[in-house]
A and B are shown apart, each in its own frame.
Chain A
Amino acid sequence: MLTLDNVHAYYGDAHILQGVSLAVGAGEVVALFGRNGAGKTTTMRTIMGLNRAAPGHITLDGTELSRLPAHRVARAGVGYVPSGRRVFAALTTGQCLSLAAGRQRGGWARAWRQGGSADGSPPAGPGNPWTIDRVHSIFPKLVELADRRAGLLSGGEQQMLKLGQALLRNPRILLLDEPSEGLAPAVVAEMSQWITTLRQEGMSVLIAEQNVRFTMAVIDRGYLLAKGRIRFEAAARDLAGSPELHEHLAMGTARTDLGDRQ
């Protein structure tokens, strides 16, 4: 479904991604492990078109994404939940959701989306498009918060909101960047519930994380990213006992709340 083939990326002169190749299959939940500075966020941003892949190829069901601007990548079916408190602070929660939902009703935007899936690939989910009501049904708390400014929400509430916004775009694949970052343990447990729910719905997900314990329970496969390269790839059950993974993330797991500052 989503494929990265030898993707490189730079910040100025810094060579951050040095040939990343990975794949996420339909309905698969895949983790991208790595320490701070390993290039996880850069990988997400590059898939999303917020950084340019130079060189390299990123495809979604055969559609080349690597030369598209971010809004076209989003319309092609990639949903992005960035890390940290990146919400539209001045808008209310309800406005944030209707903004995300409204984007898919636009005539030409919809035409483009339909064109994008004309190759016969099924839309994400069991043919049940995401609506604000459906987002409210999995995140009832967002109903109460409808009139509150997004900037005033707690970390967990902002994660709900960002996830809800991404779902309202009816993506074919979701990118979650450090979903557990800065969250209280109880909220992290909820987050893993939400991901499990999405997985049961057949959503494809790529999660960038350094919190192994949280992630291991929800994924099918994982990659380890170190210094801009994929170090190895393994199924979840093989990863769990991998000494190399734990050695690499030992520091990271102890400091999940510090955030990824690359």
Chain B
Amino acid sequence: MHTDSLASSAEHDQVHLARPPARTTAGTVACVVVMGLLALAGVVWSPAALANLQEALGLVLFAVATNLLLGYGGLVSFAQAAFYGIGAYGVAIGWLHWKLPFWLGGLAGIAAAAVAAVIVGVISLRTRRLYFALLTLAFTQLFFVIADNQTAITNGATGIFGAMVPAWLAEPQGGYYFTLVVVVVVTLACYAFVRSPFGLTLKAIRDNRERAEALGVNVYRHQLAAFVISSIGCAIAGFLFAIYSQSASPDLLSWTNSGEPIFMAVLGGMHTFLGPVAGAIVYFYAQSYLTQHITDWQLVLGLLLLVIVLFKPSGLAGIGADAGRAVRRLRARTGGRA
């Protein structure tokens, strides 16, 4: 009995060593270092570089929020751009028509996106896979047409431009730090969400929907909640876009825009939490570099996506994990010799 429990605890430890904890500590350290560098960047970087980084951070949130559905829920939604756009329009419309303070307009936009997400989700989640994707696409088109046609409210295709945020937020440094704080806080909230029992249940549904149902899980309700939470995250990213660009226009809601966070998440690795973060950063800077040097930049990014999907479905996160393993192996080998 005694030896049994000893043996089992030894095995238990071995399992532990072979599994995430070591990586998690390294990951935590890396995250803290990156955040420190990001905070430092606000002081030392040029205003132009900060403006770029601010835009990239907004996309990070867009990708992380979209990946709650894509990576954890196994749901491909083309509606996330609509919620992003609604988040941006909240600030713009509030300012244009009622001179609302930007944060009140932002809150209204995020709330409106949540309501829209409930409507889209309640209907779309009745169907599965392709039909779900197609229904979300149809809804996005609907929202796009509303933004494009309701000129009295949205200014139509022209969009809304103007000094819709306070001067300190329009400053590169103020805007950057505000964006950084919002993105970090909301991303941490998303992390807590995927680690919660609710997040685990969502993964279980992704792995095997019927098994989850047979364990008493109300799949529809779980997916609807995840859909609304993801959409709120996307709306917050849209709100940050309005702060960055001081504008909102219908093309934000174009369904092709929903492809961007999906691209970023797949590029970075949709089955890890931080993959989409890396994907968004790489996508943003690759795009700004490529657009300056190549006219057919989309071709290059398209090829990149093709290569990832075909040869490395775990994305940049998978490549990073492979590299980490290789380093550990190398270190173990040299340690063995020493």
Task: Give me the interface of A with B, judged by CB distance under 8 Å.
Answer: 48-50, 69-71, 73-75, 80, 82, 86-91, 95-96, 98-100, 102-104, 109, 140, 143-148, 165-166, 169
Contact = CB atoms under 8 A, between A and B. Distances in A.
Nearest to B213: A70
Contacts of B213: 49-50, 69-71, 74
A102 B200 CA distance: 11
Given A91-B204, A102-B197, A147 B215 contact: no
B200 A74 contact: no
A104 B218 CA distance: 13
B207 A88 contact: yes
B100 interface: no
B8 interface: yes
B201 A70 contact: no
Interface residues of B, number: 25
Contacts of B218: 71
Given A82-B211, A98-B200, 12 more contacts: A49-B213, A71-B214, A71-B218, A74-B214, A74-B216, A88-B204, A88-B207, A90-B203, A96-B204, A99-B200, A103-B217, A146-B15
A50 B214 contact: yes
A89 B197 CA distance: 16
B15 A147 contact: yes
A86 to B, nearest CB: 6
A103 B201 CA distance: 10
17 contacts: A71-B218, A86-B211, A88-B208, A88-B211, A91-B207, A95-B200, A96-B204, A99-B204, A103-B216, A140-B8, A143-B8, A144-B8, A144-B11, A144-B12, A147-B12, A147-B15, A147-B16
Contacts of A109: 216
Nearest to A162: B211
Contact of B200 (A87, A91, A104, A146): A91
Given A87-B208, A88-B204, A91-B204, A100 B16 contact: no
Contacts of B8: 140, 143-144
Interface string B48-76: 00000000000000000000000000000
Interface string B213-254: 111111100000000000000000000000000000000000
B322 interface: no
B97 interface: no
A148 B11 CA distance: 11
Contacts of A96: 204
